[in-house]
Structure 1
């Protein structure tokens, strides 16, 4: 079972008017992309939400959480199993796939994606953007 966060920084852009960062971000559950490969969304806001979940689980939280993609009806439902693994379910109007990973693996995957995104934003001199500050604060 596998979980990966995919990003493509080539099309990362800052919407100056809305102060939002847009770019390609999607997840892969057992090799299947969700919502789809190359999905254009707000990667900083999405990954901050994933970081919050990973940090909560690390602190002992056991409640199931939903993390929505900000464009479209797509979400991940993330919860801890009885075996202390993390179950991730992809949903739009119906379930699209699921996987289970070790809690430490989930946290490492999310932190790695967050670190890569933070570095890409800092390289573009976006460190003062509110989403970038939240990203840095949650790492």
Structure 2
């Protein structure tokens, strides 16, 4: 089953304040984009929470979730209580689906909220502060209350 995975042990903060680290979608034996994809998890998780919360609440039928770095994105299309994930790589004039699968929407949302919460906690433990981190904290709070019922 697909889940969002952010490796909090890889988080670093640049002089600019931008927080980077490994983030990916993971199923039993594959990762997208790959096992060591380094990106901006605070920003990316915020985008994904926003998109997927709209999908979960019925305000959208498809969520378009992208990575900040590289030509990678995934679409999540709702089909009842499941979502179909299509992981794509953009090329110069086309896109290629490189990984696809179905997952229960509630399980995927819980995994996303858990991953975002872990990133927030790791950043706070290190004393890092930023507008992007505050935004992610707010989106986690909304997702927990509106989407996950917690």
Backbone CA RMSD of aligned residues = 1.4
Query: Runs of 5+ in structure 1 lacking a partner?
Result: none
Match of 1:32 in 2: 30
Residue equivalent to 1:91: 88
| Counterpart for residue 112 of structure 1 | 114
CA displacement, residues 76-120 of structure 1 (integer Å, 9 cap, x when unaligned): 111112x33111111003111111111211210110101111111
Aligned to 1:50: 48
Distance 2:117 2:53 in 1: 14
Q: Which of structure 1's runs of 4+ aligned residues deviate more than 6 A?
A: none
TM-score calculated relative to the size of structure 1: 0.89
Report deviation, 1:66. Answer: 1.5
- TM-score, scaled to structure 2: 0.83
Query: Aligned residues, how many?
Result: 135
Q: 1 CA distance for matches of 2:6 and 2:87?
A: 17
5+ unaligned residues in a row in structure 2: which ranges? 91-95, 141-150
